[in-house]
Chain A
């Protein structure tokens, strides 16, 4: 089982719709969780950290479910500019060292 798994998509969603995707992780000792956004042929950029209580930033909501070991990202009222690949990132402590593990990403295309 991969340490971090994402559905690669692509998710093709009409503009204005709500879309959600999940990311599962295998290490129950994982401590920190993030969503990064990566545009085509560009570098990843932090979208939001994921807190235990869940957090919201405008149209974006991130949730953490420790019992089932997944995080989710919800995008409301999707815009054309939301088209990108969304990377799930998990920070785990192994042998005293922190390790970041990246998912392969979920590709999202917003259709006019």
Chain B
């Protein structure tokens, strides 16, 4: 079955450590996204990529980095520069079309910084 796989599902890290969240999709979608979800807030876009080897900052990119070396993969690194990294991180993908932008989400990664 096609879908998006995120790992790990739960991650605990000490303050000051970088962590990398994995996102892999087999939907043959061109576009991939990383969102962050906090209680009482809507999903906020961190980074997105529309094509291999290219990506753009979203609304809250500071303290994060990404790469897009393969169409299927879009890992997110949460660096020590991110001031409040504890959150639920969601990876998504969509086909590039001229119309509506329907997203398919992975199951999410819940990061807790101790």
Contact = CB atoms under 8 A, between A and B. Distances in A.
A45 interface: yes
Contacts of A43: 90, 105-108
B45 A100 contact: yes
A25 to B, nearest CB: 12
A5 B88 CA distance: 21
Interface stretch (A11-19, A60-68, A75-83, A101-109): A101-109
A91 B101 contact: yes
A49 B108 contact: no
A51 to B, nearest CB: 10
B103 interface: yes
Given A87-B42, A101-B42, A42 B107 contact: yes
The interface residues of chain A, by DSSP majority, are classed as strand
B114 interface: no
B99 A46 contact: no
Contacts of B110: 41
Contacts of B41: 104
B100 A34 contact: yes
Nearest to A103: B42
Most buried by B among A87, A100, A101, A104: A100
A32 B107 CA distance: 24
B101 to A, nearest CB: 5
25 contacts: A8-B40, A31-B100, A32-B101, A34-B100, A34-B102, A41-B110, A42-B107, A43-B90, A43-B105, A43-B106, A43-B108, A44-B43, A44-B103, A44-B105, A46-B104, A49-B102, A87-B42, A87-B43, A91-B100, A98-B101, A99-B45, A100-B101, A100-B103, A102-B35, A104-B42
Nearest to B35: A102
A71 interface: no
A4 interface: yes
B6 to A, nearest CB: 9
